[in-house]
Each structure stands twice: as structure tokens, then as C-alpha cells.
Amino acid sequence: MNYTNDTHLKSMGYILWLFGFTGSHRFYFGKPISGTIYFFTFGLLGVGWLVDLFLIPSLDRQADLRFRAGWIDYSIAWILLTFLGLLGAHRMYMGKWFTGVIYLLTGGIFGLGYLYDFWTLNDQITEINSSERWP
């Protein structure tokens, strides 16, 4: 179990930055509004994307202060959401088996639940990590 306050990885942020024109690194660090703006403007036409190369360390610090470490690893959950989210793998990893199976059967509730989770995954993990519920 991870009890340190390092909830997000800079290395993961830099990997996601490679696809930063989609806003993926901003979603990962808990910035869904700017992530959405980046998605629709291709990283503010590439300018914001380049600037973010230098902002990732501060985005990482902000995420580490805002979110709570615990038995759910943020990076694993984000990888599962990104690549297997329509199948509910991230929800099953977080112990949300019922909604995970619903996502599996409905394609992430027809993609809308999948998008919702991009906005809220960090907060969902923090809530679980803050609860008394441990595996």
C-alpha cells in the first residue's frame, strides 16, 4: 500500500503530455476543465501543449496536495480508464463491481459514463482512499 503523499507520477504526466493536444495529462492531474478545452482546441493550437512541458512538475505537486494516496493507485486507474474504460476495468479495479459490469455490458453506458469518469476519476479515487473501506 502506498501511504506517501505522492499520488501522481511525473513520468506518467510526461508520457500523457505526448498526447497533450487531447488534454490527457490535464485530466490525469485533476484539471478536467482545461483538459476539455485542450481536447477541443488541440492543446490551445499547440501553444498550451508546449507550455505544459514546463508546467508538469507544478501540476504534479498540485495533484499530490489535492488528492489522497491509499490502496487505489491513481496511475493504474488512469491507465485502465484510458484503455479499458468502456469495459469498466477501472471501476472493477476500484471495487465498484456493479457499475463495472454495467459498463462492460453497455460500453461504458454508451460512452457517457466513460466521459464522466474522465472528469471525476481523481475525486472517486480520493473518496475511496479516504474511506475506512480497505481491501
pLDDT, tens only, 44-62: 999 999 999 999 999 999 9
**In whole angstroms, how large is the CA radius of gyration of the chain?**
15
- Kind and range of the H or E run holding 28: helix 24-28
* Cβ pair 29, 62 in contact under 8 A: yes
| Burial of 18 per CB tally in 10 Å (0-12, 13-18, 19+) | exposed
Asked whether the CA dihedral 113, 84, 75, 98 is positive or negative, the reply is: positive
Q: What is the pLDDT of residues 78-108, one digit of tens each?
A: 999 999 999 999 999 999 999 999 999 999 9
CA 37, CA 28: separation in Å to the nearest integer?
Answer: 14
2-42 residue pLDDT tens: 446 899 999 999 999 998 778 999 999 999 999 999 999 99
